[in-house]
Chain A
Amino acid sequence: MRPIDPRLLRYSRSSRGFIFTTVVLAVLSAAATIAQAWLLASVITRFFTSQQSFSENKNAIIYLALVFALRAILAFAIDRISASASSRMRNELRRHVVVKTLDSGARDVQELGTAGLSVLITKGISDLDGYFSKFLPQLFIASIVPAAVGITIATQDWQAGLIVLATIPLIPIFGILIGRFTASATEKKWRSLGILSTYFLDLLSGLTTLKVYGRHKIQSTKLKEVGDAYRKETMGVLRVSFLSSLALELVATLSVALLAVSIGLRLVDGNIGLQTGLFILVIAPEVYWPIRQVAGYFHAAADGLVAFEKLFAILDRPVVNVGRKIEKISAITWSEISVEYPDRTAVHIPSGQISAGSIHVLVGPSGSGKSTLANILLGFIKPTSGEVILSTVNGDISHGEVNIEELRNQISWLPQEPKFPIGTVAQILRHAKPEATDFELIEVLAKVHLDIVDLPSGLRTPLGTLKQPLSIGQLRKIALARALLKDCQLLILDEPTASVDDVSESVISQILEEKAKAGVLVLLITHRLQMLSGASNVTDMAKLK
C-alpha cells in the first residue's frame, strides 16, 4: 500500500492535469492565507497599540475584504474541480475494471463472490474518492505549503522559524511509523467487510430456504455476530490509525502552544513586536494544517487503497484476445486431460474426439468431470495437463493458441445452471442471434416445447427481474432455445433434459442430429442413456474412476 501508485496515474489519464491545477490553486490559497494573517495582525496591532479607529485602517480593511473574496473564489474552484475530477477518474477506472472482469468470465465471481465483486467495483472504487479528490492533491500541497509558510515565519522571527522548521520533519516520521502499522490492519478490516456484505446478501438471497427450514430467526443472531466481529476489526484499525492523527495533532497544537508561550515571554522582554507575534500566532497552524489533512485523508484513502490492490489484481491481467484466428473446425480432440482444483484429487478426463457431423455424448456419474471438460472447451478453465487440439482446414491448432474470443463466437452453450441478465425473453434470445425475427424466436421456442401462449407476456416476458413469472423448467427451456438459436461450429449442451420433462430425449436427439448433419460439432452431456442411440461417440467418464 504505497501512498502514490504510478499505476493509478496510468489507468486514469484525467488525473495528471487535475493534480497540477489543484496544486496551483492550493499555493494561491496559501498565499492568500498568509496575506490574511498579515493584514489581521497589522490591523489588530494598530487598534491596540495606537488606538486607531476602524475607519483609519480603511485601506487594510479593504485589502482584507478582497483577500476573503479571493479565498472564497479559490475554495469554490478547488471543491468543484477536485470533486468532478475525482468522479471522472473513478468512472474511468471502473470502466477498465469491468471490461477486464467481463473478459475473464465468472473467475472473479468465484474468487470474491457476487457481493464481494459488486462491492469492490462500486463501493471499492467510490472509496477511492478520498484518495483521488483529497489525499492525492493534499500530498502535493503538504510538500509545498508548510515549507513556504515556515520560511515566511523564519523571515519574521528566526527563533519561531526554528521551532516550526524543527517540528515539521517529526510529522512525516510519525506518519510513516503508524501508517506501517495500520496497513495490515486495514487489509484485515476490508476483508471482514467483504465477509459482512457477502454474508448479508447471502442471507437475503437464501431467505426462502431459511424460511422453509424455519431457520430465519436464528440467523439474526448470526448477523449480529458477524456485524460485531466487523465492528471489532474496524475499531482495532481505527484505534491505531486515529492514534497517528492524535500524534500529528499533538505535535501541531503543542508547537503552536510552544510558539505562543515563547513569543509571549519574548514580548515581555521587548525582543519582538506585537504585530509579528500575532502574525506568527495566526499563521503557525497553517504550517501543520496541510500535513494533518494528509494524515486525516490517508485514513479515508487507506480503505480505498486496499481495494485498489484487489482492483489491480484484476487490471494487471494480460489481455486475452490475442492468438490465432480459426477457420472451419472439422474436429476437436482431447487427450490425457487432467484438472487439479485446489485441495481436490485431480479430475481425469478420458481422451475423446468430436468430429463434424457427429454427436459426442458424455456420460458419467455426478462429479466425474463432465462440466469441467465443457469449461475447458469454452476456455473458462485451463487443464493442468493434457491437450486439446482443433483440427481446421489450415491444420491442427492447440486450443491454448487460438484467439479465444473468436473461438467463443463459434461456440453455443447450454450451461448446467443457466443465468440470465435482466431483459425480456426476446432480448435474451437475440443475444444468440441479433437478427432473428419474432417468428424465428417463436419457432425455436416451439421446438423445445415452450408454447408462446404459456409465457405471461409472450416474447416480452421479463426475465432476471424481481417478478420472475416463469418456472425453473421454463427457464431451462429458454436457455436451451438460446443455445439452439446461435449459429455455431460447436454446440455444447450440459444436461438439456434436467428439470424439463416433456422435451423428450427423442425430440432433443432429433434436433441435435439435424445440427450435426449441418456440420456442427455437438457435445452432449447427459444422464439419459436413451439418448445414446443416435450418438456416434460416447465417452463414459466412469471408466477411469
Chain B
Amino acid sequence: MRNLITLLKPNWKQLAFGGLLGGLSLGAAVGLLAASAWLISMASTRPPILVLEVAIVAVRFFGLSRGTLKYAARITEHDAALKIQTSLRIKVYEEISKFMPATFVKLSRGNLLSQIINDVELVQDLWLRVFMPWLNALIAGVSGLGIIYYLLPSAGNALSLIFLAAIFLIPILASVISTPQNEREHEGELFSQIMQVAESANEALIFNFKDDLLIEMEIAQDAIAIAQEKSAKRVGYASAMHILLLGVASLTALYLAAKGYLDQELAGVNVAVIALLPLVIFEGISTLPAAFAQLSKILEAARNLEPYLENNSSQNTEVVSKSLAQEVTIDFHDVNPVIPDANCAPLTTTIRPGETLIIMGKSGSGKSSLINSLLGFTPFTGHIAINNEELGPKHEDLFSTLLQDDYLFATSIRENIRIGKPDATDIEIEKVLEIVELAELVKQLPQGLDTHVGPLGYNFSGGEKQRIKLARLLLRNTPVFILDEPFEFLDASQVARISKRIAGALAEKTVIIVSHLELDIPAKVITLVNSLN
C-alpha cells in the first residue's frame, strides 16, 4: 500500500481538489434542500416577501452550483486518476525491467504477465470508484450536520453519531465482512486462459483441444459467478442497512425537531429543515455499498503489484562504469552453464576480433544457455574473460544479440528495426534490408516501412520475420555480435547469400553464431555434446 501511495504524490493535490469539488457539489444539494425547506416553512407564515428574498437567492444559487461543481469535480478526478494510472504502469514496467534477467526471462506470456496487466487495470478503481465517493459523502455529511448542529445541537450530536456509524459501517459491511472469494484470482485466470485460447487458436482446431479450453474457461467463470453472487448479497445487505440507518436518522430528526420546537430551543421554520436534511446527508452514502464491494479485490491487486513497486535498491546502487572497448577478445575457460538436469561438457576456447565461432550441437545441449551465460542471464561455472577481464555487468553494452526467441513488437517495420538503432535513417534501414533481401518486398508494400507487422508478426511469413530481426541486429555497432539460429526458415541458397553478406558486414567484429546448419563462411566450429550421451 505504501508504494501505491507514493505513486499518488505528484497528483494528490489534483485528486484532493477533485474530491473537494465533489464534496461541495453534494454540499450544494444539502444547501438547496435546507434553503428551500426554510423558504417554504417561512412562506407559510406569510411574512413580507422581502424576508424570503435571501432564501430565494440561496435556492437558485445552490440549484446552479450543484451541477456545475459536480462537472468540475468529475473532470478533475478523472484526469488525476488517469495520470496516476500512467505512472503506475510506468513504474511497474521499470521495476520489472530492472529484475535480474534470469527472473524476467521466465516471466513470459504465462499467467504472471496477464495477472500484472489485470491488476494494473483494477487498481485504478481504488481512487475513482471507492475513495472519492467516500470522501464526497463525508464532506457532504459534515456540511449538512454542521447546519443541523448550528440550529439544534442535540439533533446535531445524535445525527452525527448515526451518520458516522453509516459512513464507516456500511463500507465495512460491503467490503470486509466476507470470506475471501478470490474473484480477482479467477478473473486473472480467465484472462490468461483467453490469452492462451487466442494464441493457440489454430492448433486448438486441429488437435481438438478447444473443448478443453472451453471447460477451463467455464470453471473460471463459475468461480467468478459464485464470488459475484456472494458480493451481490453483501451489497444488498449494505444497501438495506443504508436505508435503515436513513430511517433511524429521519425518525430521530423528527423526534428531536418536534421536541426542540416544543421546548422553544428551535424556531418553527427550522423544523422542516432538520427533519428533511437527513435525506440528502445520506444520499452520498447510497453509492458506497456497490463501490466498496470491489475494495477487497482492488486491495488484493494492489498487494500483488507490491513487489513490482518496490525500489530494489540493491540492484540500482552499483553504478558500473561501462567498458568502452572497441575490440574484444573473449576467452572461455572450462565454461559450463548451470542448468538443471543437463550435463554439458565444459567449453574452452578463444575468439579474437575478426574471428567467428560457430557453435553446433543437438537441441538441448546447452547452446542457447551458453549464450545466456555470456549475457548474464544464466549462471555458469568456469571463467569467461573479456579482454582479460572477468565478465561482468560493465560488458553488457559490448554485445549485440539475436535471441532465438527474439520478439517482434506489434508496430511498424521501421519501429521494429529502429530498436537496433533509434536514430537510424531510412537509408541506413534500407541498407540492412538489402543485406537480408527484404528491400524488394518492403518497396512493394504501399506503406513501405510503415507497414504494421501485426500482433506477433502475423502479417509476415516465418522467414520474413526472421530477416526483420536480423536487419534490426545489423544496425547495431558493437564489438561483439552473438547470433542464435539466425538463418531459421531460410532456404539453402538464401542462407548462403545472406550469411556471406553478414560475414562481410561483421568482418571486423568478434562473432559467435549458434547454428545447426553448416555455414559456408570462414569460422572456427565447435560442436557441443551432452556429456551424458
Interchain CB contact under 8 A, B254 and A473: no
B201 at the interface (CB under 8 A from A): yes
Q: Which of chain A's residues have a CB closer than 8 A to the CB of B157?
A: none
Q: Which of chain B's residues have a CB closer than 8 A to the CB of A75?
A: 236, 239-240, 242-243
B67 at the interface (CB under 8 A from A): yes
Complex CA gap A238/B401 in Å reads 45
B262 at the interface (CB under 8 A from A): yes
Interface membership of chain B positions 70-103, coded 1 if the CB is closer than 8 angstroms to chain A and 0 otherwise: 1100110011001101100110011011000100
B217 at the interface (CB under 8 A from A): yes
Complex CA gap A79/B287 in Å reads 11
Interchain CB contact under 8 A, B44 and A238: no
Binds A, one of B158-166, B227-235, B348-356: B227-235
A123 to chain B, nearest CB (A): 7
Q: Which residue of A lies closest to B111 (CB)?
A: A466
Interchain CB contact under 8 A, B261 and A209: no
Q: Which of chain A's residues have a CB closer than 8 A to the CB of B150?
A: none
Q: Which of chain A's residues have a CB closer than 8 A to the CB of B400?
A: 213
B203 at the interface (CB under 8 A from A): yes
Q: Which of chain A's residues have a CB closer than 8 A to the CB of B213?
A: 102, 421
How many A-B residue pairs have C-beta atoms within 8 angstroms? Tell me: 500
A394 at the interface (CB under 8 A from B): no
Interchain CB contact under 8 A, A343 and B446: yes
Interchain CB contact under 8 A, A114 and B455: yes
Q: A54-B258, A201-B113, A242-B75 in contact; A214/B364 too (CB < 8 A)?
A: no
Q: Which of chain A's residues have a CB closer than 8 A to the CB of B408?
A: 206
Q: Which of chain B's residues have a CB closer than 8 A to the CB of A208?
A: 101, 104-105, 403, 405, 407
Q: Which of chain A's residues have a CB closer than 8 A to the CB of B241?
A: 72
Q: Which of chain B's residues have a CB closer than 8 A to the CB of A432?
A: 207
Q: Which of chain B's residues have a CB closer than 8 A to the CB of A94?
A: 217, 221
In chain A, residues 415-451, which have Cβ atoms closer than 8 Å to a Cβ of chain B? 415-422, 431-432, 449
Interchain CB contact under 8 A, A431 and B209: yes
Binds A, one of B52-60, B325-333, B383-391, B426-434: B52-60
Interchain CB contact under 8 A, B261 and A47: yes
Q: Which residue of A lies closest to B85 (CB)?
A: A227
Complex CA gap A408/B207 in Å reads 8
Interface membership of chain B positions 32-76, coded 1 if the CB is closer than 8 angstroms to chain A and 0 otherwise: 110111011111101101001001100110111011101100110
Interchain CB contact under 8 A, A267 and B46: yes
Complex CA gap A416/B224 in Å reads 36
Complex CA gap A415/B199 in Å reads 13
Q: Which of chain B's residues have a CB closer than 8 A to the CB of A418?
A: 203
Interchain CB contact under 8 A, B66 and A249: yes
Interchain CB contact under 8 A, A77 and B197: no
Q: Which of chain A's residues have a CB closer than 8 A to the CB of B407?
A: 205-206, 208-209
B132 at the interface (CB under 8 A from A): no
Binds A, one of B15-23, B140-148, B310-318, B483-491: B483-491
B498 to chain A, nearest CB (A): 10
Interchain CB contact under 8 A, B489 and A498: yes
Q: Which residue of A lies closest to B41 (CB)?
A: A48
Interchain CB contact under 8 A, A53 and B262: yes
Q: Which residue of B lies closest to A121 (CB)?
A: B194
Interchain CB contact under 8 A, A274 and B41: yes
B357 at the interface (CB under 8 A from A): no
Interface membership of chain B positions 206-229, coded 1 if the CB is closer than 8 angstroms to chain A and 0 otherwise: 111110111001100100110011
In chain A, residues 186-214, which have Cβ atoms closer than 8 Å to a Cβ of chain B? 197-214
Q: A261-B59, A367-B464 in contact; A202/B190 too (CB < 8 A)?
A: no
Q: A98-B214, A122-B187 in contact; A238/B74 too (CB < 8 A)?
A: yes
A268 at the interface (CB under 8 A from B): yes
Interchain CB contact under 8 A, A72 and B243: yes
In chain B, residues 96-123, which have Cβ atoms closer than 8 Å to a Cβ of chain A? 96-97, 101, 104-114, 116-118, 120-121
B307 at the interface (CB under 8 A from A): no
Q: Which of chain A's residues have a CB closer than 8 A to the CB of B454?
A: 110
In chain B, residues 159-188, which have Cβ atoms closer than 8 Å to a Cβ of chain A? 187
Q: Which of chain B's residues have a CB closer than 8 A to the CB of A465?
A: 110-111
In chain B, residues 381-435, which have Cβ atoms closer than 8 Å to a Cβ of chain A? 396-397, 399-401, 403-411, 419-420, 422
B309 to chain A, nearest CB (A): 14
A432 to chain B, nearest CB (A): 5
Interchain CB contact under 8 A, B60 and A261: yes
Q: Which of chain A's residues have a CB closer than 8 A to the CB of B236?
A: 75-77, 79-80, 83
Q: Which residue of A lies closest to B396 (CB)?
A: A214
Q: Which of chain A's residues have a CB closer than 8 A to the CB of B242?
A: 75
Interchain CB contact under 8 A, B491 and A363: yes
Q: A91-B221, A202-B410 in contact; A117/B207 too (CB < 8 A)?
A: no
Q: Which residue of B lies closest to A449 (CB)?
A: B362
Q: A261-B39, A267-B44, A419-B199 in contact; A64/B251 too (CB < 8 A)?
A: yes
Complex CA gap A226/B42 in Å reads 58
Given contacts A69-B247, A238-B75, A465-B110, 13 further A-B contacts (CB under 8 A): A76-B237, A99-B214, A205-B108, A214-B396, A260-B35, A264-B36, A268-B43, A268-B47, A277-B40, A281-B40, A365-B491, A472-B405, A498-B489
A289 to chain B, nearest CB (A): 10
Complex CA gap A511/B455 in Å reads 35
Q: Which of chain B's residues have a CB closer than 8 A to the CB of A91?
A: 221, 224-225
Binds B, one of A136-144, A215-223, A324-332: A215-223
B348 to chain A, nearest CB (A): 22
Complex CA gap A231/B78 in Å reads 9
Interchain CB contact under 8 A, A87 and B232: yes
Interchain CB contact under 8 A, A68 and B244: yes
Interchain CB contact under 8 A, A264 and B43: yes
Interchain CB contact under 8 A, B63 and A257: yes
Interchain CB contact under 8 A, A472 and B262: no
Q: A274-B41, A473-B364 in contact; A51/B206 too (CB < 8 A)?
A: no
Interface membership of chain B positions 261-282, coded 1 if the CB is closer than 8 angstroms to chain A and 0 otherwise: 1100000110110011001000
A254 at the interface (CB under 8 A from B): yes
Interchain CB contact under 8 A, B364 and A471: yes
Interchain CB contact under 8 A, A98 and B271: no
Other-chain contact of A243, B71, B108, B200 (Cβ < 8 Å): B71
Other-chain contact of A109, B78, B201, B495 (Cβ < 8 Å): B201
Complex CA gap A418/B200 in Å reads 8
Complex CA gap A123/B212 in Å reads 22
Q: Which of chain A's residues have a CB closer than 8 A to the CB of B321?
A: none
Binds B, one of A149-157, A308-316, A352-360, A499-507: A499-507
Q: Which of chain B's residues have a CB closer than 8 A to the CB of A365?
A: 463, 491, 493-494
B247 to chain A, nearest CB (A): 3
Interchain CB contact under 8 A, B461 and A502: no
Complex CA gap A23/B64 in Å reads 32
Interchain CB contact under 8 A, B197 and A102: yes
Interchain CB contact under 8 A, B205 and A231: no
Complex CA gap A276/B18 in Å reads 38
B204 at the interface (CB under 8 A from A): yes
Complex CA gap A385/B85 in Å reads 49
A529 at the interface (CB under 8 A from B): yes
B304 at the interface (CB under 8 A from A): no
Interchain CB contact under 8 A, A380 and B202: yes
In chain B, residues 294-340, which have Cβ atoms closer than 8 Å to a Cβ of chain A? 340
Complex CA gap A212/B381 in Å reads 22
Interchain CB contact under 8 A, A118 and B491: no
Interchain CB contact under 8 A, B461 and A366: yes
Q: Which of chain A's residues have a CB closer than 8 A to the CB of B255?
A: 54
Q: Which of chain B's residues have a CB closer than 8 A to the CB of A420?
A: 200, 203
Q: Which of chain A's residues have a CB closer than 8 A to the CB of B224?
A: 87, 91
A335 at the interface (CB under 8 A from B): no
Interchain CB contact under 8 A, A207 and B195: no
Interchain CB contact under 8 A, A216 and B97: yes
Q: Which residue of B lies closest to A129 (CB)?
A: B228
B259 at the interface (CB under 8 A from A): yes
User: Which residue of B231, B239, B250, B258 has the most chain A CB atoms within 10 A of its CB atom?
Assistant: B258
A533 at the interface (CB under 8 A from B): no
A515 at the interface (CB under 8 A from B): no
Interchain CB contact under 8 A, B200 and A267: no
Interchain CB contact under 8 A, B456 and A207: no
Q: What are 20 of the A-B contact pairs (CB < 8 Å)?
A: A54-B255, A72-B240, A76-B237, A80-B236, A94-B221, A197-B117, A211-B97, A213-B476, A235-B75, A256-B63, A257-B63, A257-B64, A267-B43, A268-B47, A366-B467, A366-B490, A417-B462, A465-B110, A470-B364, A499-B516
